[in-house]
Amino acid sequence: MNILHFKTHSAEQTQNFGTAIGKLAEPGDIFLLIGELGAGKTCLTQGIAYGLDIHEYTLSPSFVIMRELHGRLALYHMDFYRLDNIAEISDLGLDDYLFGDGVCVIEWANKGMTVLPEDHLVIKIDYLSGDERSFTIEPHGARYEGMLKQLKESVPGS
């Protein structure tokens, strides 16, 4: 499997990487974000929204589980932070979103990996210091292998 590792040194760089993802996004794409509190998951999602031509400010959906935003494609921004077990995630009825024509971005996706579709792009974000973040991008499925090749061109030093 092809994996991409890189660092960003500012919130702007993190958003710019997200924008590159959003510009490449197609209907049905699923992006699974993994990282601790403050790692930059919502910042990255803001960039994805910009890449989808969404002009609304992207807030974390921690307390509402999902926010829906519209641009070139619908963005279903989900957050599993407050969910404690797989049954809660399974019971949300997310299939219409996960297998629909929009783009799903799921924060704290590690809480539900066993009930999410097999084909997806995992984006692990680690806080290093200040505004510096480390990213590990893992594609699962042919669609995301191709996307990773395109993303490598937008990441300095990859």
Q: Compute the distance between CA of residue 53 and CA of residue 112 in angstroms, rounded to an integer.
A: 28
Residue 123 inside a domain? The answer is: yes
- Domain of residue 136: give its range: 4-152
> What is the per-residue pLDDT across 127-156, written as a single tens digit (0 to 9) for each?
998 899 999 999 999 999 999 999 988 775
At a CB cut-off of 8 Å and minimum separation 6, what does 148 contact? Answer: 2, 4, 121, 137, 139
Q: What angle do CA 149, 98, 35 make, to 5 degrees?
A: 60
Give, as one character, the DSSP assignment of residue 119.
Answer: S
158 vs 152, more confident? 152
**Does the pLDDT at position 126 exceed 60?**
yes
8 A C-beta contact, residue 158 and residue 152:
yes
The helix/strand count (H/E) of the chain reads as: 5, 7
Q: Considering its fold, how many domains does the chain have in total?
A: 1
Three-class secondary structure of residue 32 per DSSP: strand
Residue 96 inside a domain? The answer is: yes
Smallest Cα–Cα separation from 108: which of 96, 116, 100? Answer: 116
What Å distances lie between residue 158 and 7, 47, 98, 153, CA to CA? 10, 19, 30, 8
Residue with tokens 């790692």: 39
Residue 62 inside a domain? The answer is: yes
Residue 157 inside a domain? The answer is: no
For residue 92, give the CATH number of its domain. Answer: 3.40.50.300
Residue 158 inside a domain? The answer is: no
Residues in the chain: 158
- What is the structure's pLDDT at 90? 64
Smallest Cα–Cα separation from 24: which of 137, 158, 157? Answer: 137
Q: Compute the distance between CA of residue 68 and CA of residue 87 in angstroms, rounded to an integer.
A: 23
- What is the structure's pLDDT at 62? 54
Q: What is the pTM of this model?
A: 0.91
> What is the per-residue pLDDT across 61-118, written as a single tens digit (0 to 9) for each?
555 577 888 999 999 998 888 777 666 666 667 788 888 899 999 999 988 888 888 9
